[in-house]
Homo-oligomer: A and B are copies of this chain.
């Protein structure tokens, strides 16, 4: 059996409260500090967070629900956040709901039972109904990448409107007048923002409604590939394509490859996310680059704030800018 504070108390001849005080950074006489430190060393004592959690009603654990652990966007952010949080003693219970509302709901209940202190969620159910157990228990919720209007919580995302506005702008600036967007589903808030960005960029460039297209790529690889096939088949004179998330970018490349369409000679493309993938593509892809590191840092800042300061006070909405990482996948059509 592992050593407990009782063992430390016996070993040092001190009371439990003193040991506990030492463990929690309280005032302990210097010579007792030393005795305790030595006893901990000797007995290889490790604090029992389960017992502490029962007493304090805190687990120092963050519950995470994301749509896909396999998305590089999620994986990168979580991996950065995990590092930062572990340094502070917080653990992450990660749950992957496979972009399924029912699973997301089940995950919320699961994490409630696991007594996590905060919920970090990249929401699938955009009504936010699944969040009610946390909201009712007044446990903090932090939304990642997607807003849900009317829910009292912090949120951190990129500026999705701007992202697609810029991406489409890359094409129009090079003289493209017949362009299409491979978009996420309209049920998704971020995807809607991105659609708006695309539309406004087209409008700003004076492209008529009949000259641009938006196809639903369902935010997935397969959906992206299908959308591209349909787009090209229906509109052979499209000259530019922009994908609105990473999976659809991969799908777009698969679709174009399988149709044998030369990039950028026949079609110019702008992708989303994942610098490594962009560099591995032939030709190298021009992409919208999301600031994952900054997103993760902001997210951790909010997480730690809620963990230490509680759920009171004004909720923050943090929106970060993207930038375009240039490649060779956009042809200049001017002149």
Contact = CB atoms under 8 A, between A and B. Distances in A.
Interface in A80-116: 82-83, 86, 89, 91-96, 98, 106-107, 109-110, 112-115
A229 interface: no
A223 B214 CA distance: 39
Contacts of A152: none
Given A68-B79, A70-B79, A257 B284 contact: yes
Interface stretch (A5-13, A46-54, A157-165): A46-54
A282 interface: yes
A79 to B, nearest CB: 4
Contact of A54 (B47, B54, B109, B279): B54
A86 B250 CA distance: 29
B79 A137 contact: no
Contact of A69 (B75, B91, B98): B75
Given A94-B92, A113-B46, A114-B49, A75 B70 contact: yes
B79 A107 contact: no
A89 B95 CA distance: 12
Interface residues of A, number: 53
A221 interface: yes
A283 B114 CA distance: 47
Given A54-B50, A250-B277, A98 B83 contact: yes
Contact of A276 (B69, B75, B82, B254): B254
Contacts of A277: 250, 277, 280
Interface string A121-133: 0000000000000
A82 B96 contact: yes
Interface in A276-311: 276-277, 279-284
A115 B114 CA distance: 13
Contacts of A242: none
Given A59-B50, A69-B82, A114 B95 contact: no
A-B interface, 9 closest residue pairs, ranked by CB to CB distance from nearest: A253-B280, A69-B79, A50-B53, A282-B282, A254-B279, A79-B96, A70-B75, A50-B54, A94-B94
Given A49-B114, A281-B282, 14 more contacts: A50-B53, A50-B54, A69-B82, A78-B94, A78-B96, A82-B95, A91-B93, A91-B95, A221-B276, A250-B277, A254-B276, A257-B281, A257-B284, A277-B280
24 contacts: A2-B137, A46-B112, A46-B113, A48-B54, A48-B115, A50-B115, A61-B114, A68-B79, A69-B78, A69-B79, A69-B82, A72-B72, A75-B75, A82-B94, A83-B98, A86-B95, A86-B106, A86-B107, A86-B110, A250-B277, A257-B281, A257-B284, A280-B281, A281-B281
Interface of A: 2, 46-51, 53-54, 59, 61, 68-70, 72, 75-76, 78-79, 82-83, 86, 89, 91-96, 98, 106-107, 109-110, 112-115, 137, 221, 250, 253-254, 257-258, 276-277, 279-284
